[in-house]
């Protein structure tokens, strides 16, 4: 069985070396690039299993790379983790909006990065094996029945509004992935509806309240939005 291949596009040598060392120690194959244009060419040529992408890069910036990868059929579903300095939080939101799956703020813990990598690769493998036509989403005692539009927690039906149901379904379908408020709004109410993005916070609070002791399933990602806890 071949090792997963990860491409790291990072122009800071020290950070690139730390990431590469830890990934290789975990058994991954790693290719690196220090420029955005080189990184994009490398990704297109090698077809990796996951990409770790800095936002600020010489040549082509990480946001442009992310956008181009999502626009191409070959890399449309490629897992992408973006790296950002704290002052680039607005860029993180843009990056998630362009299709990045997760982000890590600098400085970051290599251990945390590895956990994110494993979660994304596990999710990608599960999606490939199960396909997109799932009828139910299960997370422990929580069962989301998509066809019946019903949510059960420990066998008890939860009374959710249509918006709350769709919001929970979107989050739970991709545990560990951070969604911006704008992304959630677009998936829940559609691009054609103009809604203040902070309204999503009201819906999240309501869903958390109805989840009761399981409220921790929906995690707040500071400066970005929300994600469903990956406890697998």
Q: What is the pLDDT of residues 5-64, one digit of tens each?
A: 999 999 999 999 999 999 999 999 999 999 999 999 999 999 999 999 999 999 999 999
Q: Is 159 left (phi over 0), alpha (psi -120 to 50) or beta?
A: beta
Residue 171 half-sphere exposure toward CB, CA atoms < 13 A: 31
Parallel, antiparallel or unpaired: strands 142-145 and 218-221: unpaired
Q: Which of 172-181, 186-195, 223-232 has the lowest mean pLDDT?
A: 186-195
Q: Is the whole model's pTM more than 0.85, yes or no? A: no
Specify the length of the chain in residues. Answer: 232
Confidence of residue 193 (pLDDT cuts 50, 70, 90): very low
Q: SS3 of 103, please?
A: strand
207-226 residue pLDDT tens: 999 998 777 899 998 888 89
Please give the Cα distance from 148 to 86 (Å, whole number): 42
Mean pLDDT of the chain: 84
Asked if the model's pLDDT at residue 149 lies above 70, the reply is: yes
Confidence of residue 87 (pLDDT cuts 50, 70, 90): low
Orientation angle between helical segments 13-25 and 110-130, nearest 10 degrees: 60
Domain with CATH 3.40.50.2300 in the chain: 5-130
Kindly state the tokens that stand for 31. Answer: 């290719």
Confidence of residue 166 (pLDDT cuts 50, 70, 90): confident
Confidence of residue 190 (pLDDT cuts 50, 70, 90): low
For the chain, state the CA radius of gyration: 18
Q: SS3 of 112, please?
A: helix
CATH code of the domain made up of 136-228: 1.10.10.10
Number of DSSP helices (H) and strands (E) in the chain, helices first? 8, 12
Of the spans 46-55, 137-146, 180-189, which averages the highest pLDDT? 46-55
CATH code of the domain made up of 5-130: 3.40.50.2300
Domain with CATH 1.10.10.10 in the chain: 136-228
Kindly state the tokens that stand for 97. Answer: 């909006």
The pLDDT score that the predictor gives to residue 134 is 59
Kindly state the tokens that stand for 155. Answer: 């066998």
Task: Tell me phi and psi for residue 59, to 5 degrees.
Answer: 90, -80
């Amino acid at each position: 069985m071949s090792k997963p291949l990860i491409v790291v596009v990072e122009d800071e040598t020290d950070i690139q070396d730390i990431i590469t060392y830890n990934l290789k120690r975990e058994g991954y194959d790693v290719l690196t690039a220090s420029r955005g244009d080189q990184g994009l060419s490398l990704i297109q040529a090698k077809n990796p299993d996951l990409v770790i992408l800095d936002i600020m890069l010489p040549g082509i910036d990480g946001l442009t790379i992310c956008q181009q990868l999502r626009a191409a059929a070959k890399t449309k579903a490629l897992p992408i983790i973006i790296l950002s300095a704290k002052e680039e939080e607005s860029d993180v939101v843009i990056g998630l909006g362009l299709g990045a799956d997760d982000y890590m703020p600098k400085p970051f813990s290599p251990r945390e990065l590895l956990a994110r990598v494993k979660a994304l690769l596990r999710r990608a493998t599960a999606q490939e094996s199960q396909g997109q036509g799932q009828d139910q989403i299960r997370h422990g005692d929580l069962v989301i029945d998509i066809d019946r539009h019903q949510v059960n927690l420990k066998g008890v039906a939860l009374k959710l509004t249509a918006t709350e149901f769709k919001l929970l379904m979107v989050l739970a379908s991709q545990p560990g992935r951070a969604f911006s408020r704008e992304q959630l709004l677009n998936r829940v109410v559609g691009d054609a509806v103009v809604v203040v993005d902070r309204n999503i916070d009201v819906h999240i609070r309501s869903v958390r309240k109805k989840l009761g002791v399981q409220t921790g399933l929906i995690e707040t990602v500071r400066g970005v939005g929300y994600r469903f806890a990956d406890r697998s």
